[in-house]
Amino acid sequence: MAQYAKPLARLVAEFERLPGIGPKSAQRLAFYVLRLSDDEARALANAITEVKAAVGYCECCYNFTDQKLCEICRDPRRDDATICVVSDPRDLMALERMSEFRGKYHVLGGVLAPMEGIGPDQLKVRELLARLTGGTVREIVVATNPTVEGDATAIYLANLLRPLGPKITRIAHGVPVGGDLDYADQATLIQAFEGRREL
């Protein structure tokens, strides 16, 4: 079996550490980088270095930003009375793409996963509680994924936040638009049925 040159082997190994990248994808990416011009390779390296140096967490909601507050938290047109709680910034971006939610967000930084040592202290739960102290928040929308960990996090937050006064809601899960009931699994149908609303 042919061996990679050491620098190439290191690059392949680094790409393999990325989520969702297996050995073949890592090899493809490494070979792609080798084919880049020197200027293109420098631009890629500079972009990685710059994002690590310039991007951090919003001081309010913990979304990614290159300023103290993210663009959403700075937007005066957003509704301060509604906070949508998500597990990570990718979920926030998915919700923003629909252009329907006009409130603000809170990024937990994960979900409860006791088997992995992730409890409430490893998430931004205290910071969420601090945002409720002014009494201006009327609704918390919990938008965690419909997984065991996501559901456990949603239940934990509902029990923790309900006594503080705001209405606690959970995004509905169930049959996708254009989907056939015949092809939906039982858990999806149960969630769709439980999340039904009046017409």
Give whole-number Cα distances, 88 to 28, 57, 143, 150, 191, in Å: 28, 11, 10, 12, 23
Mean pLDDT within 80-103: 93
Domain check: are 92 and 50 in the same one?
no
- Residues with Cβ within 8 Å of 144's Cβ and at least 6 positions away in sequence, in order, are 85, 86, 87, 91, 108, 111, 150, 151, 153, 154
Q: Residue 19 is encoded by which pair of tokens? A: 């989520």
Q: Write out pLDDT tens, residues 17-39.
A: 999 999 999 999 999 999 999 99
Q: What is the CA radius of gyration of the chain?
A: 21
Model confidence at 1, pLDDT cuts 50, 70, 90, reads very low
Residue 45's domain comprises 6-54
Predicted structure pTM score: 0.83
Specify whether 88 is located in the same domain as 168.
yes
3-state secondary structure of 117: coil
Q: Are residues 96 and 147 in the same domain?
A: yes
Residues 133-159: pLDDT tens digits? 888 999 999 999 988 899 999 999 999
Asked if residue 160 is part of any domain, the answer here is yes
Q: Is residue 166 part of a domain?
A: yes
Residues ≥6 apart with Cβ < 8 Å to 121: none
The residue behind tokens 């934990």 is 156
Mean pLDDT for all residues in the chain: 91
Q: Is the dihedral of CA 122, 18, 55, 82 positive or negative?
A: negative
